[in-house]
Amino acid sequence: VLQIGVLALQGDVNEHRRALESLGAVAQPVKVADELAGLDGLVIPGGESTVIDKLARFSGLDGVIRAKIAQGFPVYGSCAGMIMLADTIADPATNLKGDPQQSFGGIDMVVKRNAFGRQIDSFEVDLDFKGLDVLPSQDPDQAAKPVRAAFIRAPWVSSVGERVEVLATIPAGNTPLGGDGVRLARIVAVRSGKLLATSFHPEVGGERRIHELFIQMIRGDA
Ligand code: GLN
C-alpha cells in the first residue's frame, strides 16, 4: 500500500487525504521533516503559498523537500501547491522586510499568482486533461470525460521549459482580459518527471482521476 504524505502546514489538507484514501493509498499529514521518511510521494495542497512558504522555512521542512525533489521524489501540487513547485514565481509577494516569498521549485516554469482575479472571481469549468484515457479506472471503450476543475484565486503557468509537459490548457474564453484587451488560452496543468501540478482543485469535487494519475506516476505506470 502506498504511503503518501499531504503537507499539512496550511490549506485543504483533508480533502486531499480523502481523495488519496478513496484510491486505496494511506495518506499521512506531514508537518515536520521526520514525517517525510518512508513516504512514496507528497501532495502540496491548495491554500496560501506565502503562508506555506513561511511555515516550511520556519520548521526547516523547505530544505528537506527541496533535497527530496532533486532526488526524484514524486510530488503533486494543487493551486498554492503548484506555486510551491514552480522554479519561478512571476509576482512573488514580499514580507514587511521586503523579502520575496520562495518556492520549493522543481518544475521549470513561471507561474503567475492570483492570475484569474480575486476570490469572487472563482469559477468551475470542464477541462480536457491529457493522459486520463489510460488510467485503470477508465473504460477503454469510452472517451475520457473532461475534468470538472475549480479555480479559486488560482495561478496560471505563464511559460514552461522544454522538459515540461502541458497536460491541460484553459481556453481563452475562460481567462480574463489582459491589459492589451486580449484573452489568451493559459496552461493550467503540467508534468515534469515525477512532479505534477494543477492550477485548480480537483479534490473539492468528486474528481479522483488527477490523484489516480499521481499514484500511477509514483508506481512508474504513468
Ligand atoms: N492565491 C493563492 C496563493 O497565491 C492560491 C489559492 C489556492 O490555493 N486556492 O497561494
Mutate to test the pocket of ligand 1, among 43, 111, 152 (most ligand atoms within 8 A of CB): 152
Which residues have CB under 8 Å from 132's CB, separation 6+? 138, 144, 147, 209, 213
Tens of pLDDT along the chain (222 residues) come to: 999 999 999 999 999 999 999 999 999 999 999 999 999 999 999 999 999 999 999 999 999 999 999 999 999 999 999 999 999 999 999 988 989 999 999 999 999 999 998 888 889 999 999 999 999 999 989 989 999 999 999 999 999 999 999 999 999 988 988 888 889 999 999 999 999 999 999 998 889 999 999 999 999 998
Question: Is residue 131 marked as binding?
Answer: no
**Cell 484569474, residue located:** 116
Question: Is residue 205 marked as binding?
Answer: no
Q: How many CB atoms lie within 10 A of CB 178?
A: 9
Contact indicator for 65, 28 with CB cutoff of 8 Å? no
Domain that residue 37 falls in: 3-219
The count of C-alpha atoms lying within 13 angstroms of the C-alpha of 81, restricted to the half-sphere facing its C-beta, is 30
Q: How many domains does the chain have?
A: 1
* ipTM attached to this prediction: 0.94
Predicted TM-score (pTM) of the model is: 0.96
Cα 102 to middle of ligand 1, angstroms? 14
**Tell me, what CATH number does 24's domain have?**
3.40.50.880
